[in-house]
Amino acid sequence: MSRKFLAAVGSAALALTLAACGGEGAGSGGDTSDKKPADLTIGVSMPTQTSERWIADGNAVKQKLESKGYKVDLQYAGDDIPTQSQQVDQMITRGADVLVIAAIDGTALSSQLQTAADAKIPVIAYDRLIRDSKNVDFYVSFDNYKVGVAQATALLVGLGLQNKDGSKGTATGPFNVELFAGSLDDNNAHFFYNGAMDTLKPYIDNKSLVVKSGQTKIEQVATLRWQQETAQKRMEDLLTSAYNDGAKIDGVLSPYDGLSRGIITALQNAGYGGAGKKMPVVTGQDAEIASVKLINDGVQGSTIFKDTRLLAEQAVVAAEAYLQGKEPQANDVKTYDNGVKVVPSFLLPVQTVYKDDIKPVLIDSGYWSAEEVASGQAKS
Ligand code: BGC
């Protein structure tokens, strides 16, 4: 219904858009159901190539769409907001019929999304919700709150406060822990942190976990653009401030493998993992190959595996539904309020990976090979 409504109010703007780009491109003006895949283009906007998960996502979406005969305009924005805005603008003027966007800043693409809506180009938010805009049609992601719960649970399990089956562990603490969150402009960072903090709070309240720095608010522990170096620097600062009295740190909640590696480097530089200074339990996310090796080597405690192959598949299913003039099937229509509307979503489950899970979950499913895990490097 909203699509038809938008189609009506957007037609004048569409004419302008078409005029502005010489009367060519700018999608198919909405109805693509009678077109052949070869005449349809999907614009895929990914945030960065510094993290291998986004490279895998981009490649998987492209390859799946191309195998169905569609044309794909895949762009990476180098974690730079103006670049992403410009790339999405270009996708629209080059004739995208559907947009699949993993936003750097979930609120920064409003004008591009308005242009897309005016041209009746459906927009699918990929993994990261686009906020504060009515012009987002669908969302494909994982259960991001559960990612946070799983990360916090892995921290508790690693410390021995809880067993893998959820029962109470034999350890009692108190354990010194520090908390990290992702980029505040990424909606997911809040879901991860909320899930984690809801899980850790009882342990902080009963003092079996002590956040020695006192930094527990997301604003205090966030990491702009999910940068590894920023996390490393903050960990170094924490060690020289909150831990300069000889106290040891036992665990670190980290929301993403890249941050975990920065944190681990800071810890190693301070002697952790060496004689008499046990490496703290460090969590993660994304099953990046360098971190899977660290888990295999007993350095990083865990990661959360989100199968990007399945996410890419869902993005393709949703894109294809729009191209065929249908609405994609949601499995969640209440969780993801973007500030303007609840965006219908398709959410996938997540899986915690400890050392013992590497073979059954990652190697046996073909996500990584045994050689890649041993070397810590992805084969291209
Ligand atoms: C994704 C995570 C990823 C993070 C950093 C988030 O939006 O959901 O999988 O670790 O961005 O790239």
> Which pair of tokens denotes residue 211?
């956040």
- As a whole number of angstroms, the distance between CA 57 and CA 60 comes to 5
Q: Is the same domain home to 132 and 163?
A: no
Whose C-alpha lies nearest to ligand 1, atom 10? 256
The pTM for the full model equals 0.90
Contact (CB, 8 A) for 319 and 124: yes
For residue 286 and ligand 1, the question of a CB distance below 6 A is answered with: yes
> Which ligand 1 atom sits closest to the C-alpha of 257?
10
Q: Is the same domain home to 329 and 299?
A: no
Q: Is the same domain home to 130 and 115?
A: yes
For residue 48 and ligand 1, the question of a CB distance below 6 A is answered with: no
43 is a domain residue? yes
Pairing, β 123-126 against β 98-101:
parallel
* Beta partners for residue 42, in sequence order: 72, 98
> Which ligand 1 atom sits closest to the C-alpha of 142?
8
- From 52, 53, 144, give the residue whose CB has the most ligand 1 atoms within 8 Å, as the site to mutate: 53
pLDDT for position 31? 79
> Which ligand 1 atom sits closest to the C-alpha of 127?
8
- As a whole number of angstroms, the distance between CA 1 and CA 6 comes to 9
Q: Is the same domain home to 231 and 298?
A: yes
Residue 9, pLDDT above cutoff 70 = no
Residue 12, pLDDT above cutoff 50 = no
**Cβ neighbours of residue 257 under 8 Å, at least 6 residues apart?**
284, 285, 286, 287, 288, 290, 291, 300, 303
> Which pair of tokens denotes residue 19?
């005029």
For residue 142 and ligand 1, the question of a CB distance below 6 A is answered with: no
Q: Is the same domain home to 46 and 190?
A: no
> Which pair of tokens denotes residue 315?
């993005």
pLDDT for position 24? 37
- From 46, 49, 50, 51, give the residue whose CB has the most ligand 1 atoms within 8 Å, as the site to mutate: 51
Whose C-alpha lies nearest to ligand 1, atom 9? 286
Instruction: Provide the residue range defining the domain that includes 128.
Output: 2-136+308-347
pLDDT for position 276? 86
Q: pLDDT confidence of 20, banded at 50, 70, 90?
A: very low
How far is Cα of residue 130 from the mean position of the Cα atoms in its chain? 12
Q: Is the same domain home to 110 and 15?
A: yes
Residue 15, pLDDT above cutoff 80 = no
Q: What is the DSSP string of 321-342?
A: HHHTT-PPPPSBSSS-B-SSSB
> Which ligand 1 atom sits closest to the C-alpha of 306?
9
> Which ligand 1 atom sits closest to the C-alpha of 47?
12
Query: 178 alpha carbon to ligand 1 midpoint, in Å?
Result: 20
Average pLDDT over residues 251-279: 97
For residue 208 and ligand 1, the question of a CB distance below 6 A is answered with: no
pLDDT for position 29? 58
Query: 124 alpha carbon to ligand 1 midpoint, in Å?
Result: 17
Residue 16, pLDDT above cutoff 60 = no
In this structure, what CATH number is given to the domain that contains residue 115?
3.40.50.2300
pLDDT for position 303? 98
Q: How many domains does the chain fold into?
A: 2
Q: pLDDT confidence of 14, banded at 50, 70, 90?
A: very low
Query: 256 alpha carbon to ligand 1 midpoint, in Å?
Result: 7
Q: What is the mean pLDDT of the chain?
A: 92
271 is a domain residue? yes
HSE-up of 142 (CA within 13 Å, CB side)?
25
380 is a domain residue? no
**Cβ neighbours of residue 183 under 8 Å, at least 6 residues apart?**
189, 222, 223, 224, 225, 226
